[in-house]
Amino acid sequence: MVSNNFYLGLFLIYLVSLNSDAYRILVIAPFNSKSHSNMLETVGKALALKGHQVDVISHFEMKNPPKNYTTIINLDGSLKKAVNTWTLEMVEHFRHADLVPTLVKGFGNNLCELMALDKMQKFIKNPPNNPPYDLVIVEAFAANCFFGFGHVLKVPVVIVSAVTEIVWFDEILGNPMSNAYSVKFETKNFQIVTFWDRVKNHFWTHYKNYRFFKYTEEKQTIAMEKYLSSDVPNIREIEKKAALYLTNAHQSFFGIKPQIPAVVQIAGIQIELSETKMTPELKVWMDESTDGVVYFSLGSMVIIEDFPKEILLGIYGAFEKLAPIRFLIKIVNKEKLPPGLPKNVMTMSWIPQIPVLKHKNIKVFMTHGGLNSVQEGLYFAVPMIGFPLFADQLLNVRLLSDKNVAYEMDYKDINEKSLNNALLAVLHDPKYREATKRESQLFRDRPMSATDTAVFWIEYIIRNGANSLRSPSMDMPWWKAELVDVYVFFFISIILISCSVYFVLRKIVCLFCRMFNLSSQNHRKND
């Protein structure tokens, strides 16, 4: 008779076989922005839900993570806090600053120093080996030194962008830049129509890339050699080993452009995997708001209560005029608001944005234009009023405004009259609701969900190797990839051919002239 232990053994073997394709993956989110970290951690969560073991290095710990999702190093406190700390003075500085040095200084070279922390050094010198890692996922922004973890662990590197495609990663991965028509927030060229638009877009794209590579090469290479390994290659070589680039973009939002297989768009993944819920009190308030709700938030960094008093009072006046419509505002510190908050306004220090935007009574979303926010508004077909503050927010709002999904305003122009006009337009002009429904359908309509897309291509890289999607242009300078030498060859060839034809025709004409002259002379002699 077969013992129970035998059947137990068979059952355990069966369980192991079910999970034989599970991998161990390291996710590194070095930037202490909540929205940026959320993008990487959501990708990690998607992998954990598929059965993979996911270890995370981040400034934030996920609430209620999957059982095989573990924050192994919490970086909280190692950098100056960015959540709910940005004042208008900081916004204005960043808005008008030179983009590349600001990014590299604030969110690039300095982040490489996180590798010097004791807990990071312990991990780098003694990484887990039971089982070892199969892949590293790192943020694609300005701190490319963290790509070096792939070299140390001898595994492929997948990079994830919390924003749309960034120009220097197009060059790194050999992705077509499409400067003739592809808008980019780095070049501040939000529309490409004329010849000079194309000239400026093409020039500034390459100039931004040149400066980024110049400012990061020495310092980030030194940081990798110092903190990761003495035999680590130059940062430019490390970047070329990126196997896959997941971007927070979608063609319905940013437009059509050619892309290599290693660039995969996964916009909306944070919506699909969100588990946030409204508090019972907020749900009751939303359900009772049958005349409609306008939701106002400036994201996780900028605080509304720092706005000038005259702007806040203008907001009060516009909101009060539209009663009984209700307004829900994210305010971190209500005590800093001027007195006179209208009765139809509710404030909260933290608001579960996705369930609020999903609610049937929501009518308008007033937003700063952060990419996750506008995607969430678009996903649930909520028309928007956009107050872009800095960086990609200006492009995000401009694109939605051009499609009649959003009403664009400069926050400096907010007063009771201007805001009231904007609210009345978005609330009552059917073009905003109709356009938003149309664009929402385009944003949602995909062959696979963003979650399944991300998981499939990450697993594909693990199965098939880091070079399985590698573009040949990764090993070419930009002027070769964009056929500059070929165009020069064609131009010179045309010049040479034209010159040759000219000289041949000139010789023929001269010959005919001589023959004609000779014939004329002979004719005169005969006469």
Q: Which of 119-133, 205-219, 294-308 has the lowest mean pLDDT?
A: 294-308
Query: Would you mind telling me the total number of residues written for the chain in this entry?
Result: 527
Type of residue found at 91: V
Alpha-carbon 278 to chain mean position: 27
pLDDT on residue 9: 41
* Per-residue b or e along 335-350, where b marks 16 or more CB atoms closer than 10 Å to that residue's CB: eebeeebbebbbbbee
- What does R_g of the chain's alpha carbons equal in angstroms? 29
Which residues fall within 8 angstroms of residue 407, CB to CB, at 6 or more apart?
383, 384, 385, 386, 401, 422, 425, 426, 432
Return the sign of the alpha-carbon dihedral for residues 207, 210, 212, 214: negative
- Distance, first Cα to last Cα, the chain: 135
pLDDT at 287: 96
CA 54, CA 232: separation in Å to the nearest integer?
A: 25
- 345 pLDDT more than 90: yes
Contact 151, 232 (CB under 8 A): yes
Average pLDDT, stretch 226-251? 94
Q: State the pLDDT at residue 137.
A: 97
Phi, psi of 296 (to 5 degrees): -125, 120
Which among 526, 120, 308, 449 has a CA at the least distance from the CA of 316? 308
Q: Using the structure block, give the residue that is written with the tokens 């202490």.
A: 32
CA dist., res. 213 & res. 201, Å (int): 18
What pLDDT sits at residue 524? 65
Helix (H, G, I), strand (E, B) or coil at 66: coil
**What's the mean pLDDT in 336-351?**
92
Integer Cα distance of 58 and 110 in angstroms: 16
Overall average pLDDT of the 319-335 stretch = 93
pLDDT score of 366 more than 80? yes
Give burial (CB, 10 Å; 0-12/13-18/19+) of 80: exposed
Count CB neighbours of 131 within 10 A: 10
What DSSP assignment string belongs to 323-371?
Answer: TTSEEEEE-S-GGGSPS---TTEEEESS--HHHHHHSTTEEEEEE---H
- As a whole number, the mean pLDDT across the chain is 89
pLDDT at 21: 76
Residue 88: predicted pLDDT: 78
* Each residue's pLDDT tens digit, 20-40: 579 999 999 999 888 888 999
What pLDDT digit, counting tens, does each position of 378-433 carry? 999 999 999 998 888 889 999 999 999 999 999 888 999 999 999 999 999 999 99
Region at 446 (left for phi over 0; alpha for psi -120 to 50; beta for the rest) = beta
| Residue 263, helix vs strand vs coil | strand
Write the pLDDT tens digit of every residue in 63-95: 889 999 999 999 998 888 877 777 777 777 777
CA of 212: how far to CAs of 108, 390, 433, in Å?
10, 19, 40
Tell me if 353 sits within 8 A of 377, measured CB to CB. Answer: no
98's CB contacts (< 8 A; 6+ apart) are none
Q: How far is CA 425 from CA 107, 307, 368, in A?
A: 38, 24, 18
Counts for the chain of helices (H) and strands (E), in that order: 21, 13
Is the predicted pLDDT of residue 12 greater than 60, yes or no?
no
* The two three-digit tokens of residue 162, written as one number: 């919390």
416-428 and 309-321 are packed helices; what angle lies between their axes, rounded to 10 degrees? 40
Cα-flanking dihedrals φ and ψ of residue 288, to 5°?
-80, -10
Q: Which residues of 488-502 are buried (b: 16+ CB within 10 A; e: fewer)?
A: eeeeeeeeeeeeeee
Q: How confident is the model at residue 526 (pLDDT cuts 50, 70, 90)?
A: low
Strand, coil or helix: 260 = coil
Does position 6 have pLDDT exceeding 80, yes or no? no
Give the other-Cβ count within 10 Å of 90's Cβ.
16
pLDDT(4) > 60: no
Q: Is 22 helix (H, G, I), strand (E, B) or coil?
A: coil
* Strand pairing report for 53-58 and 157-161: unpaired
How far is the C-alpha of 61 from the C-alpha of 48, rounded, in Å? 15
110 band by pLDDT with thresholds 50, 70 and 90: very high
Model confidence at 50: pLDDT above 60:
yes
Average pLDDT of 140-158? 96
